[in-house]
Amino acid sequence: MKKHSILLALMLVFCLHIRAQNLSEYPNFERYQATNSELHKLESYPLVVFIGNSITEGWTNQHPDFFTAHNYVGRGISGQTSPQMLLRFRTDVVALKPKVVVINAGTNDIAENTGKYNASYTLGNIQSMAEIAKANGIQVVLSSVLPTGKFPWKEEIKEVSALVDDLNKHIKRYASENNILYIDYNSLMRDSEGAMRADLSEDGVHPIGKGYDIMENLIQPTLDNILSH
């Protein structure tokens, strides 16, 4: 019995160790470690950080000049959900000392990339990122989840546009109640069914260049106004 108990204890310690290792890798701190370190070394900090998922990452890849011309940086990681962004928020946003952070989160939460979707949990993670930013003197801009009718990698999830609209309603309300700026990409990028306009995306989720043009035209006047004060 004693040997059996010891074996169980060792197995438990091993499992906890593996889970701890997985949790430490969960946010993917390594993705921007080198570029962040370079900014710290040069003390060359961006005016604005955009944090998000593949939509933000694709933005920096397709329209890099938008970021370099204005001293912005993108910190998007493909596939990430709001809890992953929250875990890396201090490293990829606060530590870079921006004047503004633009937060775009929720698409992959609804797609259940890291577990069952819960709108309150997702909103709470977005709120926590906003509160951390404000506590560190960083102006917050919240942005809507982009329109989506379905997820090509998770087609079993139904009524996606309704879930997106519901989350956006809560994000917008939170922004209004807390004097936070809110950018509504969704309204100009959706079709009559609430999906992404066909001319703005090849897969119905990720924008192509024309989609990013719309996003830039929406966000830039807001950032110009913030940064001019």
Q: Please list the ranges in the chain whose pLDDT falls under 70.
A: 1-23
Six-digit token string for 170: 């809560």
Give the pLDDT score at 2. Answer: 47
Are 180 and 138 in contact by the 8 Å Cβ rule? The answer is: no
What is the pTM assigned to this prediction?
Answer: 0.90
Q: Indicate the average pLDDT of the chain.
A: 92
137 contact partners, CB below 8 Å, separation of at least 6: none
Q: Tens digits of per-residue pLDDT, 117-141?
A: 999 999 999 999 999 999 999 999 9
The CA–CA distances, whole Å, from 177 to 137, 170, 173, 181, 185 equal 19, 11, 6, 10, 20
Give the pLDDT score at 152. Answer: 96
What's the CA gap between 150 and 60, in Å, rounded?
24
- Name residue, tokens 């309603």: 169
Q: Which residues, listed in sequence order, are joined to residue 142 by a DSSP beta bridge?
A: 103, 182
Q: Which residues, listed in sequence order, are joined to residue 102 by a DSSP beta bridge?
A: 50, 141
Residue 41's CB: how many other CB atoms inside 10 A?
8
Are 106 and 52 in contact by the 8 Å Cβ rule? The answer is: no
Six-digit token string for 28: 């993917």
